[in-house]
Amino acid sequence: MTTEMNNHPRFPLEPGKVTAPTWVKDAVFYQIFSDRFAKSARVNKPAGLEDWDTDPTTFGYKGGDLLGVAEHLDYIQELGINALYLNPIFQSASNHRYHTHDYFRIDPLLGGDAAFDEMLAACHERGIRVVLDGVFNHASRGFFQFNDVLENGESSPWRDWFVFEKFPPNAYDHGKKPEYQAWYGLHALPKFNTDNPEVREFIMQVGEYWLRKGIDGWRLDVPHEITTPGFWEEFRIRCRTINPECYITGEIWDPAPEFLRGDQFDSVMNYVFTEAVLGFVGRGHIVKEHQEDRGYNPWPGFTGKEYADRIDKLLALYDWNVTNAQMNLLDSHDTPRALTLMSDDVRSLELGYLLLLTYPGAPSIYYGSEIGVDGGMPDKWARRTMPWSKPDTWNTYLLSNVKSLVSLRHAHPALRDGDYQGLWASAMSYAFLRSHHDGTYIIAVNTGAERDTAPLAVQQATELLFAIGDAEMTTSGELALGAQSAGIWKVMNG
């Protein structure tokens, strides 16, 4: 095969030197916001829940639980998922549970510890890994040690677990400063004093406890805000001592090579990739208002050449093993749904999923986005309930395409951890190569409103494995891409 290309480097540039859990490069994650995914009749609930199918509110509970997750594993597995990332599930006084009360107890509304044990066992029986959300930068007003300070002031033996400016602290008058260090200055989220050895040891024991219970890793909430020297290095060592295959990924929205040298995290949530993909597939459709206060900026969009440049820079930023462990995503609980961000243009979302599921690393699908669940900002709209009782609202064509792409990724190792090389880019389109011992694959995407042709001059026969829209390999070996189209071709040997 010969190509007319713009000197894109081929990755990996050299073999990876940083170790990562072996299973992650083969993983496809499904992110579940537990209050909104599914609820089981087997979990007793208080009467004050919101109706499942009504619009979400900022503070209301819908009543989703972990047995609901267990009871929908058939659906999850049919999607091709082999790893779950669960938003926080520890006892908390918030529907998102980032306000932790008890780090050693599963929230009763989620079914408590018994429901967790049943769900985890059911997942592992099916070969599905489970990663939990660790919120270790801050706790909550209801966290026992902080609550003791509220009751006893300077007399509390726990006062040094946090950093107070004066006593008594102002925990509830939002018209005044909290007078203690808090995440984003929010009274409800007092920041841990991780320079205190007692606090440090407490968090280490939380990490160890749930790994002993059988979880497969941690997604760490805002870990860059913990700046205590050696903290994350110790966390990694202690977690890996219990489970050498423990996956540790951090919520860091910017490039973060200083955290990914092999001594702290295996990966980050790859919002740099998210921004590039959404800007490319959604250009002309991006709703500016939905992403203005987020940690990424895909508006107004990127050309194929701009996308190619961003991908080359991203791939060159990390060790290849890190690239293969990155948690790649199109949307999450902290962003608008990708569909809504791109003006409900389903074709843009389809193209986004194709790029997500053919890129190195571990793709993560946010629950419901695969069936077209929508939702913009503020956050509550991106956290709608899964519409199990309304199958007529599901975009089954989108779901079928996502299933096909996940299946192709599992079937062809090159689409998971094969070498990556950009082949060609234009104002509207981008083509790249994935190659492995199982074969060579060409992936091409046109996000424009007009037909485009890639002059790749492919000399060998090819097989079209998957297409969106009008995409074909011509008899002269060129790629002919209709408006908003894409294809995956396998190059045939001989």
pLDDT of residue 482: 98
Pairing mode, strands 429-436 and 439-446:
antiparallel
- At 415, list the tokens: 């689409």
Q: Are 183 and 40 in the same domain?
A: yes
Which helix (H) or strand (E) segment holds residue 315: the answer is helix 304-317
| Residue among 216, 221, 266, 331 flagged as catalytic | 221
Number of separate helices (H) and strands (E) present in the chain: 15, 19
Q: Are 47 and 156 contained in the same domain?
A: yes
pLDDT value of position 136: 98
User: Does the structure show a pLDDT above 70 at 4?
Assistant: no
Instruction: For residue 134, give both structure tokens.
Output: 């660790």
Q: What was the pLDDT predicted at 6?
A: 55
pLDDT of residue 2 exceeding 70, the answer is no
Mean pLDDT taken over the chain: 96
What local confidence, expressed as pLDDT, does residue 3 receive?
42
My answer on whether 385 and 474 are in the same domain is no
Residue with tokens 């509110």: 57
Decide if 81 is inside a domain: yes
Alpha carbons 62 and 43: distance in angstroms, whole number = 13
pTM of the predicted model as reported, rounded to 2 decimal places: 0.97
pLDDT in tens, 216-228: 999 999 999 999 9
Residue 4, domain member (yes or no): no
Q: Do both 356 and 462 map to the same domain? A: no
- Alpha-helical segments (H) within 20-104: 34-37, 66-71, 73-78
End residue of a domain, out of 415, 432, 448: 415
Dihedral over alpha carbons 406, 408, 409, 414 (to 10 degrees)? -170
Q: Is 85 exposed, middle or buried (0-12, 13-18, 19+ CB in 10 A)?
A: buried
> In a 3-state reduction of DSSP, which class is residue 121?
helix
* pLDDT score at 1: 44
Asked if 229 and 350 sit in the same domain, the reply is: yes
* 133, 86 contact by CB (below 8 A): yes
Q: Is the pLDDT reported for residue 5 higher than 60? A: no
Q: Is residue 427 part of a domain?
A: yes
The answer as to whether 240 is a domain residue is yes
pLDDT tens, 312-347? Answer: 999 999 999 999 999 999 999 999 999 999 999 999
In this structure, of 39-53, 137-151, 338-352, 452-466, the range with the lowest mean pLDDT score is 452-466
Q: Which two tokens stand for residue 193?
A: 């004093």
Angle at 66 between CA 124 and CA 64, to 5 degrees: 150
If asked whether residues 266 and 220 sit together in one domain, one would say yes
**Per-residue pLDDT tens for 406-422?**
999 999 999 999 999 99
Beta bridge partners of 269: 327
Using the predicted structure, report yes or no on whether residue 201 has a pLDDT greater than 70.
yes
Domain count, the chain: 2
What does residue 245 show for φ and ψ, rounded to 5 degrees? Answer: -100, 20
Same structural domain, 300 and 445: no
Domain boundary among 415, 449, 466: 415
- Please, what is the Cα angle at 88 between 86 and 92, to 5 degrees? 150
pLDDT confidence of residue 198: 98
In a domain, 431, yes or no: yes
Catalytic residue list contains 26: no
Do residues 359 and 448 share a domain?
A: no
Angle at CA of residue 102, ends 96 and 107, nearest 5°: 50
What range does the domain containing 360 cover? 18-415
Which is higher by pLDDT, 458 or 56? 56
Answer yes or no: are the C-beta atoms of 365 and 85 closer than 8 Å. no
pLDDT band at 475 (very low <50, low <70, confident <90, very high): confident
Highest mean pLDDT among 2-6, 173-177, 453-457: 173-177
Residue 336: CATH number of its domain: 3.20.20.80
Catalytic residue among 35, 107, 251, 312: 251
- Residues 127, 337, 381, 252: is their CA dihedral positive or negative? positive
pLDDT in tens, 124-182: 999 999 999 999 999 999 999 999 999 999 999 999 999 999 999 999 999 999 999 99
Question: What residues have CB less than 8 Å from 201, skipping those under 6 apart?
Answer: none
**Burial, 152: exposed, middle or buried (Cβ in 10 Å; 0-12, 13-18, 19+)?**
middle
Domain end call among 362, 392, 415: 415
Tell me what the mean pLDDT of segment 428-444 comes to: 95
Q: Is residue 239 part of a domain?
A: yes
Query: Quick one: what percent of the chain has pLDDT higher than 70?
Result: 99
Asked whether residue 88 is domain-assigned, the answer is: yes
Active site includes 221?
A: yes
Tokens standing for residue 471? 């995409």
The CATH number of whichever domain residue 446 belongs to comes to 2.60.40.1180
CA distance 371 to 399: 5
For the cut 70, the answer to whether the pLDDT of residue 374 exceeds it is yes
| One domain, residues 480 and 356 | no
pLDDT surpasses 90 at 493? no
Instruction: Kindly state whether residues 409 and 427 are assigned to the same domain.
Output: no
Residue holding tokens 């060592």? Answer: 237
User: Which of 298, 315, 305 has the alpha carbon at shortest distance from 352?
Assistant: 298
Same domain as 468, residue 358: no
Residue 11 lies in a domain: no
304 and 425 share one domain: no
390 within 8 A of 53, measured Cβ to Cβ: yes
Q: Is the peptide bond before 168 cis (omega within 30 degrees of 0)?
A: yes
